[in-house]
Copies of this chain bind each other. A is one copy, B any other.
Amino acid sequence: MNLVTFANPVFQYYAVAAALMIVKMMSQGWITVFRMLKVNAGFRNPEDARKSPMNPDPSPAQLLPNEYVERSRRLHGNDIENIPLFLVAGLLYVCTAPSAALAIGLYGVYVLSRLAHFTIVMTHRSHEARALFWTIGSVIIYFMAGAIIWAAVRSWIAA
């Protein structure tokens, strides 16, 4: 039986959650670009402080770190540490043929936990709130990893 197909409801929900997380992580790059252009700082390549049509008035200060820009870079770094793991763990979890209700719950809560984490960092809320939602996402990834290993072990027992 093929599970990696849009004919499988669990795969449909996984695919939507994965696509939303891909859009989220890609967009963090655009937020960094927006912030660099807004404050005209936080650039990192020396050539970004050269005179050009889009940079008619260059200055070495454009290459200095800027906290407003760095906040978006740190969020991007957190996405990088987490979202690729969700994308792959979520797909392999589809192959374990989980109950649709459980799978939809895990995918949905994961997406919501990452959006909450994003909002908390963007609005400078407390470390505790940020840690809570990062932990929720982390536990979901551990759970799916455990379910994947268990599915392999079940195959070996059944063989």
Q: Which residues of A contact B (CB under 8 A)?
A: 1-7, 11-13, 15-16, 18-20, 22-23, 25-26, 29-30, 33, 43-48, 50, 52-55, 67, 71, 74, 76, 80-82, 84-85, 87-89, 91-92, 95-96, 121, 124-128, 130-131, 134, 138, 141-142, 145-146, 148-149, 151-152, 154-156
Chain B residues with CB below 8 A from A121, complex form: 45
The SS class assigned to the A binding surface is helix
Contact of A127 among B54, B128, B145, B154 (CB under 8 A): B54
Chain B residues with CB below 8 A from A54, complex form: 127-128
State whether A30 touches B152 (Cβ < 8 A): no
- Chain B residue with the shortest CB-CB distance to A146: B19
State whether A96 touches B6 (Cβ < 8 A): yes
Cβ-closest 4 pairs across A and B = A19-B145, A19-B148, A84-B84, A87-B88
- Chain B residue with the shortest CB-CB distance to A90: B88
